Amino acid sequence: MQDLFSKFDPLIQQREDLLATGLTDPFGLVMEKVLSPTVALCNGRETILLGTYNYMGMTFDPDVIAAGKRALDEFGAGTTGSRVLNGTYAGHREVEDALKDFYGMDHAMVFSTGYQANLGIISTMAGKGDYIVLDIDSHASIWDGCKMGDAEVVPFRHNDIEAMEKRLKRIPEGAGKLVVLEGVYSMMGDIAPLREMIAVAKANGAMVLVDEAHSMGFIGPNGRGVAEDQGVLDQVDFVIGTFSKSVGTVGGFCVSNHPKFEVLRLVCRPYVFTASLPPSVVATAATSIRKLMHGADKRAHLWENSRTLHKGLKDLGFQLGTDAPQSAIISVIMPDLERGAGMWEALLKEGLYVNLARPPATPAGMTLLRCSLCAEHSADQVQTIIERFARAGKVAGII
Ligand code: PMP
């Protein structure tokens, strides 16, 4: 028998070598109790959370929690079925209405996760004979959607408008074209030049999908994302998003103005062949999305946090993913995995949780400590975070 696990031997070895140095497993952290959107008990210690995607701090919003409890009492724990059979409850329609209102768009379709939303929309829209032109740093769910749909996949260098144009121009006449972009790229925390890229895509006859997972609720005057901020939301054919970040629960969605959009409910396999979200989840999501429409003060505070942390870390001498803060994600570049894991642990001992990110999730083989800020982080907490980075950076020999 050929042991099918043998392909993972190098990874198993790398992990064993890392743990043999006495380090805590950076991918095995347990939050024993979550006290608020920004604090949890980890290893018995109160720890500031700087590695969640809870950008707008909605997980503990009293209205959101009350809506979830009410739905649990009135509709039960789960739907036990697909959206197209027994799995559409009033709450699923309500959250789709909330999304249509939030984005000002005609159609909204809710999936069980953001991963499935990308998988479903990309694989259904771009099939055999079509072309997908996408940024090389796209999220795994985008790549997997491409694979599943069997279209020709043409990647271009990250955020490179000319490279994208060149690839579009090489596509045979008459072929279907989908350009796939993200608003915020979650590893480095940088944004895409969507205005220019969408203009090029449209000039070359392509439809455009933008994944706004990390910008929803925060970026843009109404929190609709980078496309809104750059004034091009009306030119985007499909916006993909998730409930697992600013919305504060779980689920995924696509919104669109295309008049034929509703047919996707019949042909999109990751929508049809899976159970729908539990009633409590869609109720929390709908309440959260409606509150995010009035989140201007929170958005302003989150930008303030992002600017303060970026400057604080830069002044300490850390190498950051972007020259200026572009989103709620600030990435700190580590020299290698070993020292990155050491720094991660030193921060955890200080009472600060960040994300350790490594290939294949990261671009160019980088090891990153990703900090994602929350609108509920107080100014004092941000100062504490900077102090903890200063101490841990010295202990780990990074600064
Ligand atoms: N798109 C992007 C850009 C993401 O970063 C993520 C999750 N990290 C997803 C999609 C998937 O979202 P979900 O967690 O809802 O599956």
Give the ligand 1 atom nearest the CA of 138.
Answer: 3
E-strand stretches of 125-281: 131-135, 152-156, 177-182, 184-185, 190-191, 207-211, 238-242, 252-256
User: Residue 191 has what pLDDT?
Assistant: 98
Q: Which two tokens stand for residue 182?
A: 């993200």
User: Residue 254 has what pLDDT?
Assistant: 99
pLDDT at 18 over 90: no
Question: Pairing mode, if any, of strands 45-49 and 131-135?
Answer: unpaired
pLDDT digit string, tens, across residues 286-297:
999 999 999 999
Angle CA(26)–CA(28)–CA(29) in degrees, nearest 5? 80
pLDDT at 339 over 90: yes
pLDDT at 24 over 90: no
* Rounded CA separation 80/77 (Å): 9
User: Hey, which of 115, 137, 243, 281 would you mutate to test ligand 1's pocket, going by the most ligand atoms within 8 Å of its Cβ?
Assistant: 115
Residue 182 confidence class, pLDDT cut points 50, 70, 90: very high
Tokens 């997980």 found at: 59
- Give the Å distance between the CA of 6 and the centre of ligand 1: 29
Question: What does the mean pLDDT of the chain come to?
Answer: 97
CB 64 within 8 A of CB 284: yes
pLDDT at 174 over 90: yes
Coil, helix or strand for 155? strand
Q: How many residues does the chain have?
A: 399
The whole-number average pLDDT for the span 51-71 is 98
- Give the Å distance between the CA of 114 and the centre of ligand 1: 5
The answer for residues whose C-beta is within 8 angstroms of residue 74's C-beta and 6 or more apart is: 279
CB 367 within 8 A of CB 357: yes
32-56+295-395 and 61-292, same CATH topology: no
- To the query of whether residue 288 is one of the catalytic residues in this protein, the response is no
pLDDT digit string, tens, across residues 92-133:
999 999 999 999 999 999 999 999 999 999 999 999 999 999
User: Residue 28 has what pLDDT?
Assistant: 86
User: Hey, which of 113, 181, 242 would you mutate to test ligand 1's pocket, going by the most ligand atoms within 8 Å of its Cβ?
Assistant: 242
Ligand 1, pocket residues at CB < 6 Å: 113-115, 118, 139, 141, 182, 186, 211, 213-214, 242, 244, 252
CB 210 within 8 A of CB 239: yes
Give me the catalytic one of 139, 214, 291, 301: 214
pLDDT at 252 over 90: yes
CB 195 within 8 A of CB 210: no
Identify the burial level of 216 via C-beta atoms within 10 angstroms of its C-beta, where 0-12 means exposed, 13-18 middle and 19 or more buried.
buried
Which H or E run includes 199?
A: helix 194-203
Residue nearest to atom 15 of ligand 1 (CA): 114
Exposure string for 80-94, b = 16+ CB within 10 A, e = fewer: eebbeeebbbebbeb
pLDDT at 255 over 90: yes
User: Residue 251 has what pLDDT?
Assistant: 98
Among the ranges given (57-66, 161-170, 187-196, 355-364), the one the predictor scored with the smallest mean pLDDT: 355-364
Residue nearest to atom 12 of ligand 1 (CA): 114
Residue 27 confidence class, pLDDT cut points 50, 70, 90: confident
The pTM (predicted TM-score) of the whole model is 0.97
User: Residue 169 has what pLDDT?
Assistant: 98
Give me the catalytic one of 186, 246, 327, 331: 186
- To the query of whether residue 245 is one of the catalytic residues in this protein, the response is yes
The answer for residues whose C-beta is within 8 angstroms of residue 309's C-beta and 6 or more apart is: 325, 330, 371, 373, 382, 385, 386
pLDDT at 41 over 90: yes
Nearest Cα to Cα of residue 161 among 145, 181, 131: 181
User: Hey, which of 144, 184, 190, 244 would you mutate to test ligand 1's pocket, going by the most ligand atoms within 8 Å of its Cβ?
Assistant: 244
* Rounded CA separation 274/344 (Å): 37
Domain ranges of the chain: 32-56+295-395, 61-292
- Give the Å distance between the CA of 214 and the centre of ligand 1: 8
pLDDT digit string, tens, across residues 204-246:
999 999 999 999 999 999 999 999 999 999 999 999 999 999 9
User: Hey, which of 99, 139, 191 would you mutate to test ligand 1's pocket, going by the most ligand atoms within 8 Å of its Cβ?
Assistant: 139
The whole-number average pLDDT for the span 1-22 is 93
The whole-number average pLDDT for the span 274-284 is 98
Annotation: CATH topology of 32-56+295-395:
Aspartate Aminotransferase, domain 1 (3.90.1150)
Give me the catalytic one of 139, 177, 245, 310: 245
- To the query of whether residue 246 is one of the catalytic residues in this protein, the response is no
* Rounded CA separation 320/42 (Å): 26
The answer for residues whose C-beta is within 8 angstroms of residue 16's C-beta and 6 or more apart is: none
User: Residue 26 has what pLDDT?
Assistant: 83
pLDDT digit string, tens, across residues 366-398:
999 999 999 999 999 999 999 999 999 999 999
* Rounded CA separation 92/336 (Å): 45
Output phi, psi for 258, to 5 deg: -65, 130
* Rounded CA separation 263/83 (Å): 13
Q: Which two tokens stand for residue 76?
A: 């039960």
Question: Pairing mode, if any, of strands 355-357 and 367-372?
Answer: antiparallel
- Give the Å distance between the CA of 213 and the centre of ligand 1: 6
Q: Class of the 61-292 domain?
A: alpha beta
Nearest Cα to Cα of residue 117 among 258, 255, 289: 255
Dmax over CA atoms of the chain, in Å, equals 62
- Give the Å distance between the CA of 198 and the centre of ligand 1: 22
- Give the Å distance between the CA of 118 and the centre of ligand 1: 9
- Give the Å distance between the CA of 140 and the centre of ligand 1: 8
Start-to-end CA distance of the chain, whole Å, equals: 50
* Rounded CA separation 43/155 (Å): 42
Question: Pairing mode, if any, of strands 131-135 and 152-156?
Answer: parallel
Give the ligand 1 atom nearest the CA of 118.
Answer: 10
Amino acid identity, residue 298?
K
Q: Is 85 left (phi over 0), alpha (psi -120 to 50) or beta?
A: alpha
Q: Is 369 left (phi over 0), alpha (psi -120 to 50) or beta?
A: beta
